[in-house]
Every structure is written in C-alpha cells, then in structure tokens.
Amino acid sequence: MRCEVVAIGTELLLGQIVDTNSSWIGEQLALSGIDCHWHTRVGDNHRRMVDVLRLALDRNDAVIVCGGLGPTQDDITREAVAEVMGVELETDHVVLDRIVSMFGSRGREMAASNARQADVPVGAAVMDRQPGTAPGLICPVTVDGTAKVIYAVPGVPYEMTELVTCCVMPDLRARAGASSVILSRTLRTWGMAESTLAEVLAPRVDSLEAAGNPTIAFLASGIEGIKVRVTAKAPTEAAATRLIDAEEAEVRVVLGDLVFGVDDETMEHSVQHLLAQRRLTLGIAESLTGGLIGARFTAVPGASAVFRGSLVTYSSEVKRDLLDLGPGPVVSEEAAMAMAAAARTMLGADVGIAATGVAGPEPQEGQKPGTVWFGIDMGALGDGEPEATLVRLPGDRDRVRQFAAISLLALLRQKLLASP
Amino acid sequence: MRCEVVAIGTELLLGQIVDTNSSWIGEQLALSGIDCHWHTRVGDNHRRMVDVLRLALDRNDAVIVCGGLGPTQDDITREAVAEVMGVELETDHVVLDRIVSMFGSRGREMAASNARQADVPVGAAVMDRQPGTAPGLICPVTVDGTAKVIYAVPGVPYEMTELVTCCVMPDLRARAGASSVILSRTLRTWGMAESTLAEVLAPRVDSLEAAGNPTIAFLASGIEGIKVRVTAKAPTEAAATRLIDAEEAEVRVVLGDLVFGVDDETMEHSVQHLLAQRRLTLGIAESLTGGLIGARFTAVPGASAVFRGSLVTYSSEVKRDLLDLGPGPVVSEEAAMAMAAAARTMLGADVGIAATGVAGPEPQEGQKPGTVWFGIDMGALGDGEPEATLVRLPGDRDRVRQFAAISLLALLRQKLLASP
C-alpha cells in the first residue's frame, strides 16, 4: 500500500506557514507500515490541484489531501476532488446540520459561506467525526480499473490529527490488510565526523543490507552531533522493539561512549545524569558563551539537584575583579584553569568547568575567532590541578558559541565517564 | 519565471524532520516576485528523484533542489541531477581542495567518503561560497530546446540559507530579468496582543487596501512578539524602499515605542543600543533562566562594550552565599531587588537587572510555575532603590524561561527610554 500526502494552500508555498501537517501524517503512515514516497504542496489553484491529485493517484493507491476545505472562496479542495472523481457536488444534510448546530452551540450566527462546507462530491463518504466546521471526506476513485481512494481532511492541525488518527489510518490499514509495524530509535553521538561514523559502521550496514530490516541511517545535526537511526519493521510492536534492541546493542559495541543519548536526550541530559549518579554538583564560569552553558544545562528539569550556578564573567575586568585572575591574557590556558577553579570554589561545587575564547566576528588579544580554551577542575576527584584544553571551532559567532557550549559539556562527560 | 522547490530526504517523508527549508525558500522566491506553484518532497531513491526533477523541469523554468549532497551512501542528489542533465560526474578539484582544507583547519582527517562531495556533474558550475563540505551547484539543463536550470544546495539550514541568499537568488533574478522588485520590512513589536494591534492599525490597512501596494500583514511570533510586515512592489529597489519608508513612518506614528526593532533586530539589540547611547554598563543576576538572559544579550556582536557579566545563582544556597541574600524565600520581591543590587555592585555595572521565579514543572516555595519576579536597579539614574515587578508567565518550562528573558529585557528597555 502506497500513499501520497498532498498539502493545499498558497500560504504554504509563500512560506507564511511551515507545513508541519505533512510531516506528522508521514510519521503516522510510517508507523503503520504504509509506504509514502512523495509529499506535494500546491496552491489554491483548481487546475494545478486537479493535476497534482491525478498524478498522485497514478503513482499511489491512496492520497491524503490536507487543507482547502474552509468556507472562503479560495477553499476549493471539494471542487478539485469532485473533478478528479468525475462527479458533481451536492449538499450533505448531515454535515449541514452539524455545522448549523456548531454555530448555534457557540451562540453565533452561521455565515452563508459556511454552507459551502457541506458540499460533498457525489459518492464520497463523510467521516464520522467532525471536530470543526469542515467535514473529512473518503472519496473512492477508479483509475484504469483499479479502486483507489482520496482522503480529504482540513488543514487546521487539531482537526487534521483527530480525523487522520480516528478515520483515515484505520480505513487505510484495513485496505492495506496491514500486518506490520515500523519503529525507529535514534542514537545520538558526539565526537566523530559523519563520514567516519559511516565507515566504522559500514560492516553493520552491509550485514543488514541483505535482509533490509532493520536499517541504519545517519543524520548530521550540526551542533547537536550526528544521529544514527535504527528502523525496524515487524508484525507487532513488540517484535519491532526486539529487532531495534538487538541492533542498538550491536551499534553500541562499535560506538561505545560516543553515544550520549537516545531519541530526545541531549548532551546536558547525559551530563546531568552522570553527575546525579555520582552525587556531584557543578559550577560553571563562562565568558564567550555569555550564559549559554548554564542556560542549556538548566533547560532540563531536575537541574537544581546538581547545578549550583554559573559565573558569566564577560568583561575582562569582571574576570580579574570577581575571579581574581592575574594580569595575563584572558583567552589562555591559565585563565581557563583559574576560571574553572573559581567556579568550583566560589559556587561551592564539586566540579568546576569554564570556557574562555573568541566568539568573533573580531579577533581578541590577537587570537582568531573560534579559538577557545576549556578548563575543568574535578576537585577531589582529580589530581588537585585544573586541566585546560584548546580547541578551534568553526563557523560564525553563533556557531562558535553553540559549539563551545556542547563541546565543553561533552568534555565533562568524558571526564565523568573516566572517573570512578 | 517559475521555480519549483524540491526537498530531498527519506527522513522528511517519515516525519523525522520538519521541512522548514522549503518554506524559507518559498518566502525568498515570493519576495523576488518569482512564482512558485509546487513544493515536492521525495526520498533518497534515485529513480524517483530523477522523475521528480524531470517533472519539475517540465512545469517550471528553474528548480531548487535541497538536500542529498552529504558524504554518505544515501546522499545521491549529485547522481540524480547528472542523469537528468545527461552527463557524468567528475571530481572538481577546487571543491576537493576546499573540503580537504576545511578538515585540515579543524585538525581532523578527511574520510574517503567526503571526497564524493567533490563529484560534480560535467557542465555544472560550483557556487562561489561553500559554508560546509557540500558545494552548491548551478546545473544548466536543456528541455525541449529551452534552457532551464537546477540549483542544488545542501539541506543543512545554515548552509542552505547562505547559498540561496548569496548565489541562487541573484542568479535566478538575473535570469528572470526581474522587472519589478518586491521588498519587505518587518517592524517588531512587544507589549500588545495581535488582535489589538490589528485594531489600532485597521485605518492604515483600510487606506492601503484600495491601491493594494504596499500591504501590511501581521505575524504572531510567540516569545519574539508580534511582527508587522510592510511589503511593497515597485520597478526599482529605490522606489520600493521609498514606499516602505513612507508606510513605516505611518505605522510608527500609531505604534510608537511598541516597535523595538526592524527585521532581524532583537530586543537585546535594542537594549544594547540604548545602553551604548547612554554610556551605561549592565550586570545581570539570573535564577530560573539559568544564563539565558546573558546568552541572548551576548549573541549580539559588540556586547562587550556594555555587558559586564551575569551571576547565575541557580541554587538557593548560592544566592545566599554569593549574593548575601537573607533567609526569606528566593522567589520574592525582596530577593529580586537584592539580586538586582548585587548584580550592579558585584559586577561593577551602572545598571543591574535580575530574574527569580518558578520555571516548572514543579512548584517552588508554594508558588506556581510561571510566577516570576523581576528586579531592576538603575543605580545613579534611579531614585536609589531597586524596583521589583511580579509577572505570571504562561506555558511550559521552556516558554516560561524564554518569556522571562525577553520580558525582563523589554522592561529594562522601557526604563531606559524613560530615563534622560
């Protein structure tokens, strides 16, 4: 069973609205094991809508068309679907009654234009549910002797999700005689380029290729690292989960600690978890990141159990006055070590980390943008001395700052993993 | 001139990533007066990519294809475009050198697979800029004797936006022999609901409606306030700019200080500008925001001229130890005032601001999530006493924190505007 998603609306083409509906529908189709090879967006133009629907019916068994069912003149999905079906529109009195009573219950008068929403192509079935004034339609179409179907749902997200969940997917699954489930799990990695990751995992990818299930895909996510996604198809959810569990174990053998999280878990989740496990608290001293590291760390609920605070010593004078830094350069090994030590002692934390560097666009102290020193003071866990690390980060001001934040957290993660 | 946007990637079809690239490109095309009637998404499948590109070339003069230029096996846009052009791929040594030196400058080894990214269809031109390892390609194609073009850009958003802005749009506009220019300017507002804004600006909107040029549109942008966009079409850029200038002046008469910035100017731009104008420095004390206010403020280049630093006193003990806060509750008027004063004095700043509150999801000190106290100490500019303001912010943890950050900056902006 193959299904295309068609999103209707000139505002989507003009970029005035981001089309999140197609993505959401795509995910539902994938989870039901229904192939979706194309998403198409087309504006509120009758001729082009008809052409897009015909092409979609040619190359698929089913089409979900989303949007263009409203009351205004530019809502013409009803007319386009009717032309593709080769039928007329007629008023559906069940739908009309629903719309009238919907306005009545809100104490509002129904505008004449809303009556258009009850126009339904002859032969189309109206969906049982109707969360808004637009009905969902199940429209049978015969293409070269083959029975196919168009589902028309409104573009308002909460109406669309209800109708797709309750009416479209069950109908589609029944037509597909669906007997399989597709599940995905994302392993998030840091510290290896996408190409290298692909190389070290090539044996896994090759060994999976013959069976084609599960599969592995790579996804570069910029400052959030590289994602490795394992997808499996099976008759039941439990069986798909078992396939993913087994493949995750294989991937983890190869990648080890490069995997810092699963699905939505960020680097700060991982660091927070490691600190909590070891009953350690964290203090930060930040310069070029301006508070970003503290902000990321505290985005995770529960941060208060391990996070003491951050000293954002942005100006050089504040570094010297507040942290008691010497007269040397502030983008330096010494400064990073002193900042980490000050973060630990002044904030009363077990571990102190620090970042000082040049975000750009201008150089500082003769150093190029992207030059960043990290400091880590492991306190009682370490050998008594803070450590410093120099990195050169790519990109503009924003990327250098973002990279610095996640890189320092990644460095702390390694230290914590290496500590008992 | 008509251009289709084609987004490549199975992960888009599966709903694992929302395709924001197509929307953004659609907006750029609209602003240049280039028609865009279709957006298409297709997976990493050679046959289907070729078919989608051929169809797009049939019904358009140009195609922007986005994604599938990475180093891994499933990145096959190069191959698909070459087949549509009817040519082979060959290594482009300029691109290869760029990639090698990009790895070199980061001190990393280039994987063999990255060399694939230098494979370019014979006859394609490589774009001047190359923000990542994937080059942008300008690929001429002749369809039924008509010269058309495919632009291939990477799917990584920051690479895509740079290449589309600097290389694709100028080339497209030149091919279109663009005879009219469409320009937009966005006035960013804070402090008035969208419906109220629409009401006070209704006379402007009505008076423009007859001529239809320029136009005004409203765009709710959540924690970034409401945007008012003025769009004008004219034979030349200078003429369009004049139309926008005139309308901006009218809108500003109505909205006054509600407008805090233009286009990409954020609230922190405005505050930084006002501080610099008055030769004042700023110190911050943050609790629930965890560093977010400092991070936002320092995102703007030049922050170092006015920003001293931020004391992120996240745990209550740090507040008491470092800021010398009394034993009372930390989400309180007194705490906010004391934090603002400490930010000013400890960081040696002219002005101190502070935020303390409950981000959630759990209540704190018996206070509900969203309860936030702001403190402002204007130092020598004020009457000698810090002031505190209580707000109740809506939304989940992330929104409460984001709202707190921009709301406090907006409050400081008002204070600065009111000060001599």
Stated as kind and residue range, the H or E segment containing A403 is helix A397-418
Number of domains in chain A: 3
**By mean pLDDT, which of A85-94, A173-182, A230-239, B64-73 is the weakest?**
A173-182
Last residue of a domain, one of B262, B289, B314: B262
Question: What pLDDT, on the 0 to 100 scale, is given for residue B249?
Answer: 97
Closest in B38, B288, B360 to A41, CB measured: B38
Q: Do A291 and B312 touch (CB under 8 A)?
A: yes
- Is the pLDDT score of B310 beyond 90? yes
Residue B38, judged by CB atoms within 10 A of its CB (0-12, 13-18, 19+), counts as: buried
A279: left (phi over 0), alpha (psi -120 to 50) or beta: left
Closest in A23, A55, A193 to B19, CB measured: A23
A321-347 average pLDDT score: 93
Query: Do both B233 and B316 map to the same domain?
Result: no
B172-181 average pLDDT score: 82
Query: Do both A211 and A296 map to the same domain?
Result: no
Taking the Cβ of residue A389 and every Cβ of chain B, the question of whether any pair is shorter than 8 Å is answered with no
Residue A268 CB partners (closer than 8 Å, separation 6+)? A296, A297, A299, A300, A409
Q: Do A42 and B41 touch (CB under 8 A)?
A: no
Last residue of a domain, one of A119, A148, A176: A176
- Is the pLDDT score of B179 beyond 80? no
CA B186 – CA B167 distance, rounded (Å): 24
In angstroms, what separates the C-alpha of B13 from chain A's closest C-alpha?
5
Give the residue among B131, B98, B16, B159 at the shortest CA–CA distance from A219: B16
Question: What pLDDT, on the 0 to 100 scale, is given for residue B221?
Answer: 67
Taking the Cβ of residue B106 and every Cβ of chain A, the question of whether any pair is shorter than 8 Å is answered with yes
ipTM of the complex as predicted: 0.78
In angstroms, what separates the C-alpha of B85 from chain A's closest C-alpha?
22
Q: Do B45 and A30 touch (CB under 8 A)?
A: no
CA B284 – CA A286 distance, rounded (Å): 14
Burial B65-82 (b: 16+ CB within 10 A, else e): bbbbbbbbebbbbbbbbb
State phi, psi for A396 to the nearest 5 degrees: -85, -175
Last residue of a domain, one of A234, A262, A290: A262
Stated as kind and residue range, the H or E segment containing A339 is helix A333-346
CA A136 – CA A159 distance, rounded (Å): 9
Query: Do both A54 and A155 map to the same domain?
Result: yes
Q: Do B72 and A317 touch (CB under 8 A)?
A: no
Report helix angle A237-255 to A202-209, nearest 10. Answer: 150
Query: Do both B385 and B367 map to the same domain?
Result: yes
Q: Average pLDDT over chain B, rounded to whole?
A: 92
DSSP code per residue over B116-174: GGGEEETTPEEPS--SSSSPPEEEEEEETTEEEEEEEE-SSHHHHHHHIIIIIHHHHHH
How many other CB atoms are found less than 10 A from the CB of residue B24? 18
Which of the four pLDDT bands, split at 50, 70 and 90, describes residue A195? confident
Burial B175-199 (b: 16+ CB within 10 A, else e): bbeeeebbbbbbbbbbbeebeebee
Q: Do A13 and B26 touch (CB under 8 A)?
A: yes
Query: Do both A163 and A28 map to the same domain?
Result: yes
Query: Do both A403 and A364 map to the same domain?
Result: yes
**By mean pLDDT, which of A106-110, A236-240, A414-418, B283-287 is the weakest?**
A106-110
Pull the structure tokens for residue B336. Answer: 């906010």
Which of the four pLDDT bands, split at 50, 70 and 90, describes residue A109? confident
Pull the structure tokens for residue A39. Answer: 């998403």
Q: Do A314 and B301 touch (CB under 8 A)?
A: no
Query: Quick check: helix, strand or coil at residue B378?
Result: coil
Q: Average pLDDT over chain A, rounded to whole?
A: 92
Q: Do B310 and A315 touch (CB under 8 A)?
A: no
Which of the four pLDDT bands, split at 50, 70 and 90, describes residue B178? low
Query: Do both A378 and A398 map to the same domain?
Result: yes
For residue range B84-125, list pLDDT tens digits in order: 999 999 999 999 999 999 888 877 788 888 999 999 999 999
- Report DSSP state, residue A362: S
Pull the structure tokens for residue B405. Answer: 């950050």
* Better-predicted residue by pLDDT, A371 or B109: A371
CA A26 – CA A3 distance, rounded (Å): 9
Query: Do both A155 and A231 map to the same domain?
Result: no
Contact A17, A9 (CB under 8 A): yes
**By mean pLDDT, which of A297-306, A373-382, A398-407, B379-388 is the weakest?**
B379-388
Query: Do both A43 and A156 map to the same domain?
Result: yes
Question: What pLDDT, on the 0 to 100 scale, is given for residue A143?
Answer: 94
Surface of A (3-32) touching B: CB under 8 A: 12-20, 22-28, 30
CATH number at residue A380: 3.90.950.20
Query: Do both A61 and A149 map to the same domain?
Result: yes
Closest in A18, A222, A361 to B301, CB measured: A361
CATH number at residue B253: 3.30.70.2860
Residue B31 CA, distance from chain mean position:
17
Taking the Cβ of residue A184 and every Cβ of chain B, the question of whether any pair is shorter than 8 Å is answered with yes
Q: Do B312 and A309 touch (CB under 8 A)?
A: yes
Closest in B24, B39, B318 to A308, CB measured: B318
- Is the pLDDT score of A239 beyond 70? yes
Interface probe for A, chosen from B22, B315, B401 (most Cβ of A below 10 Å), is: B315
Domain range enclosing B158 = 3-176
Query: Quick check: helix, strand or coil at residue B222?
Result: helix
Query: Quick check: helix, strand or coil at residue B226?
Result: strand
For residue range B326-357, list pLDDT tens digits in order: 888 999 999 999 999 999 999 999 999 999 99
State phi, psi for B202 to the nearest 5 degrees: -55, -40
Contact A10, A17 (CB under 8 A): no
Contact B373, B336 (CB under 8 A): yes
CATH number at residue B63: 3.40.980.10
Query: What percent of chain B stands above pLDDT 70?
Result: 99
Using DSSP bridges, classify how beta strands B226-234 and B215-220 pair: parallel, antiparallel or unpaired.
antiparallel
For residue range B183-197, list pLDDT tens digits in order: 889 999 998 877 788
Query: Do both B251 and B105 map to the same domain?
Result: no
Q: What's the one-letter identity of residue B13?
A: L
- Report DSSP state, residue B184: E
Taking the Cβ of residue B271 and every Cβ of chain A, the question of whether any pair is shorter than 8 Å is answered with no
A308: nearest CA partner in chain B = B315
Interface probe for B, chosen from A205, A318, A401 (most Cβ of B below 10 Å), is: A318
How many other CB atoms are found less than 10 A from the CB of residue A29? 27
Query: Do both A67 and A190 map to the same domain?
Result: no
Question: What pLDDT, on the 0 to 100 scale, is given for residue A211?
Answer: 81
